[in-house]
């Protein structure tokens, strides 16, 4: 049985492995987030999955469910004005007291960072994932 997983506008094909998905659900059952403690626990699972790099279709489905729960909680408890990804990146750099050059590992060189910040180039999905991991936020924040 093939499984089509919707991930940030792109579809990935994979073989559904119901056993693996059930194991993920049993290890940490997704529930609506109702407290900061729940948020931290859910974010820790998300971070663990993102740190793995390549995910199976079942892991990606599980990650999407958890990210939706985090997004719902944050929208309810931390409403903020919608920002585009460049403005968010600038704000994160400022909050972290970082310079664009500090992101060279993600963008391969400083010129690419400045191209993004000056809106000459758009962020790629790979860069969004790396930035989210670097700043420890949900990748969905960049996809606003």
User: In whole angstroms, what is the distance from residue 97 CA to residue 43 CA?
Assistant: 23
Confidence bin at 79 (pLDDT 50/70/90):
low
Same domain assignment for residues 70 and 116: no
Domain of residue 25 covers: 2-77
The domain tally of the chain equals: 2
Of 77, 109, 133, which residue constitutes the final position of a domain? 77
Supply the pLDDT for residue 28. Answer: 92
Lowest-confidence pick of 10-19, 113-122, 130-139: 10-19
Residue 68's Cβ-side half-sphere holds a number of Cα atoms within 13 Å equal to 12
Same domain assignment for residues 7 and 69: yes
List the CATH number of the domain containing 138. Answer: 1.10.260
Of 25, 51, 77, which residue constitutes the final position of a domain? 77
Same domain assignment for residues 48 and 90: no
Compute CA distances 61 → 25, 54, 70, 122, whole Å. Answer: 11, 13, 14, 26
Q: What is the pLDDT of residues 86-132, one digit of tens each?
A: 999 999 999 999 999 999 889 888 888 999 999 998 888 889 989 99
What pTM, to 2 d.p., does this model score? 0.50
Same domain assignment for residues 48 and 101: no
Sort strands 10-15 and 2-7 into parallel, antiparallel or unpaired: antiparallel
User: In whole angstroms, what is the distance from residue 45 CA to residue 104 CA?
Assistant: 27
Same domain assignment for residues 58 and 95: no
- What the block records as the tokens of 75 is 């929208």
Residues 6+ apart with CB under 8 A from 52: 59
48: left (phi over 0), alpha (psi -120 to 50) or beta: alpha
């Amino acid at each position: 049985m093939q499984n089509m997983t919707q991930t940030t506008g792109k579809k990935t094909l994979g073989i559904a492995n119901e056993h693996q998905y059930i194991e993920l659900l049993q290890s940490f059952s997704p529930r609506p987030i109702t407290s900061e403690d729940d948020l931290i626990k859910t974010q820790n699972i998300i971070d663990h999955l993102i740190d793995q790099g390549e995910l199976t279709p079942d892991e990606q489905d599980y990650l999407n469910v958890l990210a939706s729960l985090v997004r719902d909680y944050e929208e309810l408890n931390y409403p903020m004005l919608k920002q585009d990804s460049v403005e968010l990146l600038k704000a994160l750099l400022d909050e972290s007291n970082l310079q664009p050059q500090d992101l060279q590992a993600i963008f391969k060189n400083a010129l690419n960072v400045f191209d993004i910040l000056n809106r000459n180039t758009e962020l790629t999905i790979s860069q969004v994932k790396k930035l989210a991991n670097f700043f420890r936020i949900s990748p969905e924040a960049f996809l606003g």
